[in-house]
Amino acid sequence: MSNKVVEIRGLYKSFGDLDVLKGVDLDLFREENLVVLGRSGTGKSVLIKIMVGLLKQDKGQMEVLGQEVSNLTQKELNALRLKIGFSFQNSALYDSMTVRENMEFPLVRNIKNLTKKEITYKIEELLDAVGLPQTINQMPSELSGGQKKRIGVARTLILNPEIMLYDEPTAGLDPITCVEINNLINEVRERYKTTSIVITHDLACAKMTGDRMAVLLDGQFRAMGTFEEVFPHAEDRRIKSFYDYNFIES
């Protein structure tokens, strides 16, 4: 792995008096699954939202696929966004649209000249990939939490992204569905050759999906490496307690 996909240097972000990110440095390599761990409110989601231009950093460099995100024009930013799939914590499926319309939405807006047949083929292919072909005409309100997550992932995959960002993919799901979602994350990487960042505080999810862990504490990455390198023999008391709470409590 030598190809850098994301390069972050000295990234700062604060909201009012609250400093969330305080000089974050990170490299992400092609086809790697990086898991960003940390307690709630440590700025994990803020980090990936800066990556897609939903938030703007106060200071520092955020280079994605060779482009500095904060310097891009709206048109350039949109072109970059097409290469990044963002799976939201609550799936963020459009309530007023069916599953088919949800998946059509990014496709018809960004890829012109597709026939109806091609669109349907693409949608069905992805619904098959996430194991939910039968939901195509259902409304999001008729789906379970796990199904929504899967459809959310399928919707982001429809534009063939190079990078996948998963924001708390297993939050609020039962343990069996969590394992299914973790498997899906791994399948997506293998099948579509994506590079991923998984934001979570679920160590089981981290262990299953991550090649590398990065622990965000006090606005900076305090530990980085494989699961075995970072846990369970961490010297930092906070990282150790994070591990203990996740595994001992469960």
Partner 1 sequence: MAEEADDRKPFLSKKIDKFFTGLADAWNFVRRFWQEVFLPPYEFKEVIHQCYRIGVESLPLISLTGFIVGIVFTNQSRPSLSEFGATSWLPSLISIAVVRAMGPLVTALIAAGKVGSSIGAEIGSMKVTEQIDAMEVSATNPFKFLVVTRVLATTLMIPILVMYTDFVALIGSFLNVNANELVSLSTFFVQIFESISFLDIWSSVLKSLLFGFTIGIVGCYKGYHSSKGTEGVGRAANSAVVISMFLIFIEELLVLQVVNAIRGM
Q: Under the rule (CB under 8 A), what is the footprint of partner 1?
A: 14-16, 49, 52-56, 78-79, 81-82, 84, 86, 88-90, 92-96, 105-106, 109-110, 155-156, 159
The whole-angstrom separation of Cα 50 and Cα 52 is: 5
Residue nearer to partner 1 on the CB measure, 84 or 184: 84
Instruction: Tell me the closest approach of the beta carbon of residue 168 to partner 1, in angstroms.
Output: 11
Query: What is the radius of gyration, based on Cα positions, of the chain?
Result: 18
> Are 94 and 47 contacting, i.e. CB atoms less than 8 angstroms apart?
no
Alpha helical stretches, state H, 8-84: 44-51, 74-81
Instruction: Tell me the closest approach of the beta carbon of residue 18 to partner 1, in angstroms.
Output: 8
Instruction: Tell me the closest approach of the beta carbon of residue 250 to partner 1, in angstroms.
Output: 28
Task: Respond yes or no on whether the N-terminal peptide bond of residue 232 is cis (omega within 30° of 0).
Answer: yes
Residue nearer to partner 1 on the CB measure, 71 or 226: 71
Residue nearer to partner 1 on the CB measure, 156 or 196: 156
Residue with the two structure tokens 């999001």:
140
Instruction: Tell me the closest approach of the beta carbon of residue 95 to partner 1, in angstroms.
Output: 7
Long-range contacts of residues 96-102, Cβ cutoff 8 Å, at least 24 apart: 97/139, 97/140, 98/136, 98/137, 98/138, 98/139, 99/127, 99/132, 99/135, 99/136, 99/137, 99/138, 99/139, 99/140, 99/143, 99/151, 100/136, 100/137, 102/140, 102/151, 102/155
Instruction: Tell me the closest approach of the beta carbon of residue 244 to partner 1, in angstroms.
Output: 31
Residue nearer to partner 1 on the CB measure, 156 or 209: 156
Residue nearer to partner 1 on the CB measure, 49 or 222: 49
Instruction: Tell me the closest approach of the beta carbon of residue 245 to partner 1, in angstroms.
Output: 26
Instruction: Tell me the closest approach of the beta carbon of residue 52 to partner 1, in angstroms.
Output: 5
Report how far apart, in Å, the C-alpha atoms of 95 and of each of 16, 62, 141, 212, 231 are. Answer: 32, 32, 7, 35, 40
Residue nearer to partner 1 on the CB measure, 98 or 110: 110
The whole-angstrom separation of Cα 215 and Cα 239 is: 8
The whole-angstrom separation of Cα 51 and Cα 197 is: 11
Residue nearer to partner 1 on the CB measure, 165 or 234: 165
